[in-house]
Amino acid sequence: MSGERHPDAGGRSPDRPSARGGPGWLRGARPKAYTVAAVNILAREVLEGSLPPIWVQGEVTGWKRHVSGHCYFTLRDRSARLRAVMWRSDAQRLPADPDEGMEVRALGRLTIYEKSGEYQIQVNELDSMREGGLWRVAFEKLRAKLEAEDLLAQERKRPLPRYPAVVGVVTSPVGAALQDILRVIETRAPWTRVLLSPAKVQGDGAGSDVARAIRLLARSGVADVIIVGRGGGSVEDLWAFNEETVARAIVNSPVPVISAVGHEVDFTIADLVADWRAPTPSAAAEHAVPDRRAIERDLRSLATRMASGLDRWVQSRRQRSSRSRETLTEAVTWMVQSRRDAAATLGDRLDALSPLGALRRGFAVPRDEAKRVLRSVHDFRPGMRVDLRIADGVVDCRVEDLREEPL
């Protein structure tokens, strides 16, 4: 077939009318004719071989995305029209289809569609002339759609748990974002269990993979909060987080979701629907878990208040009590006064705070089986079982004998 359609690589045919002999048919020999298909193929090859890929600017009209994924449209300006096609492999990278009448720039090769003989441009790249291009168009379209469903409302935002036991993370298992998140959680809240739901975060199919990973975490039922994100990159790299499927997975998550996509300046649809938008993965982790140092501060203050609460209890009893040497009250008073300052810090000093620490001085608290403190000999009876709370344990005792003997 190639010999027939293309008799000579240089485009010259041996049957070409010669200047010397005049038209062949006059001499009785009919020149060999090309088939129509051959002519179109020849023309296509000439056209394709004569021009490098070129940029064309014009208005899109009649955009049609075929079920095959190929896109057909026309570029036009005031005076001319140019048929255009974008194959699926290129068209699937478009964040959105251009709107009718949208001014675009397209990069492609001129070619001829052999079946119809129509000449067209085969487009590999296409972008809107609007600011932000088709990415912006896609972003705004989806934002409007979600907004219409009331999914961006501030009232929808759920509060984050204060002390999450399990933090779910949806990101690439090999990305820097995961390392950043783990480092922060390890520093702030090392008691946390981190559940990674690995996802492909860029490239073909990234959006649906991120959505799948979020749903997997949701189904596991153990995460208290979910961080979804990745490190910085181009608009194209971050695109998965602008896809509807990811937005829906976030919205449908049973637990709050923190988005952490790229850098501070990057804003994605995921950020809009998330319960909290963190500017970076590290910031997301900081927001997800409490800081150990803050908890320690709280504990110190609680410990101090606990000690002074007991202190006040003792003071009020003292005033009411006529018996100034009531053993137990004294014990507690002594304990509180001598140890109160020590309550300022935790760690070793927690021991000091304990009444058990005070008991180490030799005081013991007798209690009956119902754990009632026994204050008077009248509370005891021979043969009765009593436990003695002392510094390092409890002594089970049986009462042998008793007598009244004021101090």
* Nearest CB to another protein, comparing residues 132 and 173: 173
Interface stretch with another protein, choices 81-89, 266-274, 371-379, 398-406 (CB under 8 A): 371-379
Q: Does residue 378 bind another protein (CB under 8 A)?
A: no
Interface stretch with another protein, choices 15-23, 63-71, 288-296, 396-404 (CB under 8 A): 288-296
Interface stretch with another protein, choices 4-12, 116-124, 163-171, 394-402 (CB under 8 A): 163-171
CB of 366 to another protein, least distance (A): 11
* Nearest CB to another protein, comparing residues 35 and 321: 321
Extract the tokens encoding 98.
């251009």
Q: Does residue 156 bind another protein (CB under 8 A)?
A: no
Query: Burial code of 244-283, b = ≥16 C-beta within 10 A, e = fewer?
Result: ebbbbbbbebebbbbbbbbeeebbbbbbbbbbbbbbbbbb
* Nearest CB to another protein, comparing residues 74 and 345: 345
Binding test (CB under 8 A) with another protein, winner from 305, 323, 361, 381: 305
Tell me the sheet residues that pair with 85. Answer: 72, 122
Binding test (CB under 8 A) with another protein, winner from 306, 377, 395, 402: 306
Binding test (CB under 8 A) with another protein, winner from 27, 219, 297, 361: 219
Q: Does residue 197 bind another protein (CB under 8 A)?
A: yes
* Nearest CB to another protein, comparing residues 124 and 345: 345
Q: Does residue 208 bind another protein (CB under 8 A)?
A: no
Q: Does residue 295 bind another protein (CB under 8 A)?
A: yes
* Nearest CB to another protein, comparing residues 49 and 362: 362
Binding test (CB under 8 A) with another protein, winner from 220, 234, 337, 338: 220
* Nearest CB to another protein, comparing residues 115 and 371: 371
* Nearest CB to another protein, comparing residues 36 and 306: 306
* Nearest CB to another protein, comparing residues 55 and 191: 191
Binding test (CB under 8 A) with another protein, winner from 103, 140, 204, 296: 296
Residue 64: count of CB within 10 angstroms of its CB = 10
Binding test (CB under 8 A) with another protein, winner from 42, 350, 388, 390: 350
Q: Return the ∠ at Cα 307 (arms to 302 and 313), rounded to 5°.
A: 125
Q: Provide the mask over 240-279, with x wherever binding to another protein is found by CB under 8 A and - wherever it is not.
A: ----------------------------------------
Separation of first and last alpha carbons in the chain: 125
Query: Burial code of 25-34, b = ≥16 C-beta within 10 A, e = fewer?
Result: eeeeeeeeeb
Q: Does residue 344 bind another protein (CB under 8 A)?
A: no
Binding test (CB under 8 A) with another protein, winner from 62, 132, 173, 205: 173
CB of 385 to another protein, least distance (A): 17
* Nearest CB to another protein, comparing residues 222 and 397: 222
The residues of the shown chain that bind another protein, judged by CB under 8 A, are 161-163, 165-166, 168, 173-174, 178-179, 182-183, 185-186, 189-198, 213, 216-217, 219-220, 222, 224, 292, 295-296, 298-299, 302-303, 305-306, 309-310, 312-313, 316-317, 328-329, 332, 346-347, 350, 353-356, 365, 367, 371-373, 375, 389
